Amino acid sequence: MPVRLLFVCLLLSLTTFAQTPANDWTNRYWTAKWIACPGAPAKQYGVYHFRKTISLPQKPTRFLVHVSADNRYQLFVNGKRVALGPARSDPQHWYYDSIDLAPFLQSGANTLAALVWNMGEGMPVSQTSYQTGFIVQGDTDAEKSANTDSGWKSYQNRAYSPIKNDIPKLRTYIVVGDGDRVDAAQYPWSWEQANYDDAAWKPAQQLWFQAKPRGFGTDGNWQLMPRPIPMMAEQPVRLQTVRRTSGAPMTNAFLQGNAPVNIPASTTATFLLDQTYLTNAYPELTVSGGKGAVVTLSYAEALIDQAGKKGNRNEINGRHMLGFDDQFIADGSARRTFRPLWFRTYRYLQLTVETREQPLVLDDLSGQFTGYPFTEKAQVSTNDSTLKNIWNVGWRTAQLCAGETYYDCPYYEQLQYTGDTRIQALISLYVTGDDRLMRKAITDYDHSRFSDGLTQSRYPSSDFQVIPTFSLFWVCMLHDYWMHRPDDAFVKSMLPGMLAVLNWHEQRLTPTGMNGPLSWWNFVDWSDWKGAKDEAAGGVPNGARTGGSSILTLQQAYTYLRAGDLLAHFGQNERAEHYRELARRLAKATVAQCYDSNRGLFADTPAKTSYSQHANILAVLTDAVPAAQQAALLQKTISDTSLTQATFYFKFYLFEALRKTGMGDQFIPQLKPWRDMLAMGLTTFAENPEPTRSDCHAWSASPLYELLATTCGIRPAEPNFKTVRIEPSFGPLTNISGKMPHPKGDIAVQFQKTATGGLAGTVTLPAGLTGTLRWKGKSLLLKSGTQPVSL
């Protein structure tokens, strides 16, 4: 059995997180104490271990504890890793995990152990912090022996040091935190095992402040709240192929765990390894011997050429690794295993081994995939088999961009941006039916609101950033949730924040009826905005800083229409009509000042010097033009290549406009950019058209949602998804089958085009759900159960 930094197997299936506490720890002071390692800095980088041995008269059937830490913890019971947390948030809403330890306990002595770390200045931007701390609260008197106090022992692990992210070297914005350097000679091996001798460890320091739930006490520190999402999943993954070696041989048998690799003394050897697809995983490298040898693990989505370009992701000739690094320094012992504290994102993993006086043996290299435990429940099949690969790659993209929060991208940022998250959340609802991460995201953004009334653009985040357009999309995200889930109490709780966002934008309207100058970063899309030079950050169209942007004005109208629906539902009819009327006035003003009758298009500003797909898409979505003219406008928007083009992100709104105008048949032909990505060897969908920074960006997974909502045509017909409207769009297809989860059960469709242009097939609705099938102006009522259809 190898001696490991961390145990491989996370027994999530045995750990219970849904236990009902006997005591309400959200409404009383905690009796456990926050603890730390004595003498260690409170806010700087550090890795710490804590241990306590408790004695039980018999194996319990229930042993519930509540656990949290700052920044992160991993909890072990009798040598088994049973939990990782807490879910990311902020100190005003700091989550704790409720864990039933009974499956891991035994009669007699039991060892509880925890690894706690604080990345200090090198922490990810998505991580917030108060100071280093750890807490365990037993639920009842039966579990109080586990409480953190001075009876816990502590140890500062100086084997760890950070590898700083070199942003200039990587030539990009990368904020996922520092890499790990571990010196095996200083590591307290087997520290989590019951038989480890901790006699030299110091009693833990009890921090002076009272542990408490949110809303208690006179001081801030951590405002504790129960975790709202499940623990992350893990499953084994292995690199698939050795692509390049130097200094020593290696075969694919090593990657399967069957052929250790020997590196001679005084040798530098490099091994380029290919997963063949992008993944998020904890790499686990086991080595023997080689005292003082340095092994560097470098991770990349793709290799780059001398010009810094990626090109085809499958190609390695003339390309080199430029990526994120970890390091492990061997101590000469047998079967030492390195695993970083946080997961890494990679398709390519390069091992660089530098030995000294002793040879080193690479015993094994594997990985543990990790992510939010989504279950893929939806499926789509058509007579076009190439759509299956788009579905699979899209689903991988969505999976890699979901953990304790949604991520914009797993390799570079791991930040939860609202513009991205709105699309990700709809994918989650349609493909998995799991709404918990969406609820958490909506709540996170509500927590992010600041004095202006806006939400922050990304949250949780230790670096304050504001994108007013994303605050509007938070309102739209709330509307999406309301349309798909019967959860009025939750939605109603968000209305005060929604009104603050709406008011901020309303206060910036001018007598012209359009937006005036707007502060903050008014990002719309990573398009090539012609003539837009007033925003160094990029992504911003003309008129944001100077006023008069048709795009920003129409997005405001688009949001006000949805806010009006929400307010009317909750009985605020006067306010609802105010925003609906305001949306109509904004649209009318934009038509009057920005519509170019000569070109038959909306310009980006009243100056009519630049034109974009974005303005015209929003003109359709807000009914700025009459319904009878929308299809013609949208067709011109698609075909006129002189317009600033929507990139992958904003094509989500193009697809929405296609569906709205009855032009859903054009969706499948619009997938050429996704087919081009597959042809370039991408195994996830990218942030932007080439050249792109991120090879994995969840906003580009939107075709998953569209294949269900547009191609299969499944959409809620009224709030809470009480009824369904099904309106398929075939385009060039002849057969469509699909299934998606609904709160009452699965909705399934199977359609064929008839020789005469009709529709035939079957529709299955779960018990308690009814709806309507629409096809070329005709309708058919649908009932629960399976029914043949013909129109």
pLDDT, average across residues 472-498: 98
Q: What is the pLDDT of residue 172?
A: 83
Whole-angstrom distance, CA of residue 300 vs CA of residue 281: 13
Percent of the chain with pLDDT over 70: 96
Would 514 be classed as within a structural domain? Answer: no
Whether residue 177 is contained in a domain is answered as: yes
Q: Is residue 241 part of a domain?
A: yes
- pLDDT, residue 16, reads 45
Q: What would the two tokens of residue 494 be?
A: 């968000």
Check pLDDT > 50 for residue 10.
Answer: no
Verify that 153 and 88 share a domain, yes or no: yes
- Please state the rounded mean pLDDT for residues 236-262: 98
The rounded distance, in Å, linking the Cα atoms of 454 and 467 is 9
Structure tokens at 125: 């931007």
**Per-residue confidence at 8, pLDDT binned at 50, 70, 90?**
very low
* Amino acid present at 236: P
Task: Determine which of 227-231, 416-420, 530-534 has the lowest per-residue pLDDT on average.
Answer: 530-534
Residue-wise pLDDT tens digits, 411-467: 999 999 999 999 999 999 999 999 999 999 999 999 999 999 999 999 999 999 999
What CATH number does residue 738 fall under?
2.60.420.10
Same domain, 36 and 132: yes
Q: Is the pLDDT of residue 536 over 90?
A: no
Q: How far is CA 339 from the centre of its chain?
A: 22
Q: What is the pTM of this model?
A: 0.96
Residues 755-782: what's their mean pLDDT?
A: 96
Strands 324-329 and 179-183: parallel
Same domain, yes or no, for 180 and 261? no
Sequence-ordered list of residues with C-beta below 8 angstroms from that of 213, at least 6 positions apart, any chain: 25, 26, 27, 28, 30, 223, 224, 225
Strands (E), 290-385: 294-300, 324-329, 336-338, 344-354, 360-371, 379-382
Q: Are 154 and 201 in contact (CB under 8 A)?
A: yes
Apex 9 CA angle, 369 and 230, nearest 5: 65
Is the same domain home to 64 and 177?
yes
Q: Indicate the residue among 345, 371, 397 that finishes a domain.
A: 371
Interval 725-731 mean pLDDT: 97
Please determine, for residue 11, whether its predicted confidence score (pLDDT) is greater than 60: no
CATH number at residue 348: 2.60.120.260
Cα of first residue to Cα of last residue in the chain, in angstroms, is 65
Q: Which of 412, 406, 687, 447 is nearest to 456 (CA)?
A: 447
DSSP letter at 407 equals -
CB-CB contact of 534 with 504 (8 Å)? no
Res. 14 pLDDT band, cuts 50 70 90: very low
In a domain, 763, yes or no: yes
Among candidate residues 211, 229, 247, the one where a domain is terminated: 229
Domain assignment of residue 718, given as a range: 712-791
Residue 434 lies in a domain: no
Residue 132, in any domain of the structure: yes
Weakest mean pLDDT among 156-170, 186-200, 670-684? 156-170
Q: How confident is the model at residue 6 (pLDDT cuts 50, 70, 90)?
A: very low
What span, in angstroms and rounded, lies between the C-alpha atoms of 298 and 303? 11
Does one domain contain both 271 and 350?
Answer: yes
| Residue 787 within a domain | yes
Residue 304 half-sphere exposure toward CB, CA atoms < 13 A: 18
Q: Are residues 40 and 137 in the same domain?
A: yes
Per-residue pLDDT at 339 exceeds 70: yes
End residue of a domain, out of 229, 260, 295: 229
- The count of other CB atoms within 10 Å of the CB of residue 318 is 10
Structure tokens belonging to residue 614: 């974005």
Contact between 50 and 114 (Cβ < 8 Å) = yes
CA distance 128 to 123: 8
Q: Mean pLDDT, to the nearest integer, of 182-190?
A: 98
Residue 195 has pLDDT above 90, yes or no: yes
**Three-state SS sequence of 571-614:** CCHHHHHHHHHHHHHHHHHHHHHHEECCCCEEECCCCCCCEEHH
Q: Is the dihedral of CA 122, 123, 126, 130 positive or negative?
A: negative
Asked whether residue 91 falls in the same domain as residue 203, the answer is yes
Span 28-82, pLDDT tens digits: 999 999 999 999 999 999 999 999 999 999 999 999 999 999 999 999 999 999 9
Question: What is d(CA 770, CA 663) in angstroms, rounded to the nearest whole number?
Answer: 25
566-592 confidence digits (pLDDT tens)? 999 999 999 999 999 999 999 999 999
- Identify whether residues 112 and 187 lie together within a single domain: yes
In a domain, 473, yes or no: no
Output 531 or 416, whichever has higher pLDDT: 416
240 and 187, same domain (yes or no): no
217 lies in the same domain as 271: no
CA 569, distance to chain mean position in Å, is 30
- Residue 720: per-residue pLDDT: 98
Q: What is the pLDDT of residues 136-159, one digit of tens each?
A: 999 999 999 999 999 999 999 999
User: Helices then strands (H, E): number in the chain?
Assistant: 15, 35
pLDDT band at 532 (very low <50, low <70, confident <90, very high): confident
CA distance 592 to 298: 56
Are the C-beta atoms of 457 and 465 separated by less than 8 Å?
yes
Residues 181 and 314 in one domain: no
Give CA–CA dist 706/728, Å, rounded.
11
Look at residue 167 in the predicted model and tell me its pLDDT: 67
Task: Give mean pLDDT, residues 354-380.
Answer: 98
Q: Does residue 134 carry a pLDDT above 90? A: yes
Residue 736 clears pLDDT 70, i.e. is over it: yes
How many structural domains comprise the chain? 3
d(C-alpha 254, C-alpha 363), whole Å:
8
Token pair for residue 230?
A: 């499940």
What mean pLDDT do residues 215-224 have? 94
CA-CA distance, 194 to 389, in Å (whole number)?
48
User: Residue 552 — pLDDT band, cuts 50, 70, 90?
Assistant: very high
Could you report the per-residue pLDDT of 290-317, keeping only the tens digit for each? 999 999 999 999 999 999 999 999 999 9
- Among candidate residues 542, 541, 587, 540, the one with its CA nearest the CA of residue 560: 587
Same domain, 218 and 331: no
